[in-house]
Amino acid sequence: AANGAGAEDPVAVILQYRGLAFQAGGDGTLEQHVTIPNILKKYNPNLFGYSVGIGSPNVWEVAHLNVAMPGAIAADLPGQARTLVSLLHTHSEACIDYANREMDFAASGKYDKSDFAVVTQPFFRDVSTPPMKDGEINREFFAPDCFHFSQWGHALVSTWLWKNIMEPVGAKTTLGSASVPTLPLACPDAACPFIRTNENSKDCSQYITPAART
């Protein structure tokens, strides 16, 4: 939902800046703000479904297909987050086991169709709190509440997610930087100019057509 992404004070953190969300926001252009939809709009100006502006998931003109709901999972999210962090520090295998199972499901092939695929993008799997050179936390990454991403944070995450999308399955970056964006933006591999899936990562030649070569 990108709560507080464009906020200039703690009060504005309640606003949902959906148009700035790294994975679904489409405010402005790629030159103004890096998001996955803004990258895709370079290839297809008629892209549909990205969110714009500020508003709730119930406002179609704002949310479109970005139906993220702040606090939808837990009413007491901060308390549960603290409990979760404590558990992860004392039982580190819990998170690893879940992530591995999720990746196994994605790699199983059961979701791979001619017009649909599920791919895990693990660019932040091994990342830590965004530090600066002096070891301090880079607060520019966060909204004023020090919890949600800022506009800059969403843009940075978008660059790493896009890099993962362009990388073949089995060779994806797992240690992206939470302080430095990956620029220039990754380009499709000339030998396989597609969003990478399980199938085209194994053998891309069967998908290469004259149109794909141009």
Q: What is the percent of the chain with per-residue pLDDT over 90, rounded to a whole number?
A: 46
User: Over the stretch 57-90, which tens digit does the pLDDT of each residue have?
Assistant: 888 899 888 888 787 665 554 554 455 466 556 6
How many angstroms separate the Cα of 51 from the Cα of each of 75, 87, 116, 118, 158? Answer: 24, 34, 22, 22, 15
CA 182 to the chain's CA centroid: 13
What was the pLDDT predicted at 77?
A: 44
Euclidean distance between CA atoms 145 and 71, whole angstroms: 15
* 108 contact partners, CB below 8 Å, separation of at least 6: none
What letters, b where the CB count within 10 A reaches 16 and e where it falls short, cover 57-94? beeeebbbebebebeeeeeeeeeeeeeeeeeeeeeeee
Smallest Cα–Cα separation from 32: which of 192, 154, 202?
154
Q: What's the confidence (pLDDT) of residue 153?
A: 92
pLDDT for res 90 = 61
Q: What is the pTM of this model?
A: 0.66
Residue given tokens 């196994």 in the structure block: 104
Task: Tell me what the pLDDT averaged over the chain comes to.
Answer: 85
Chain-centre distance for alpha carbon 65: 15
Q: Work out the number of other CB atoms within 10 angstroms of the CB of residue 201.
A: 17
Tens digits of residue pLDDT in 111-120: 898 889 999 9
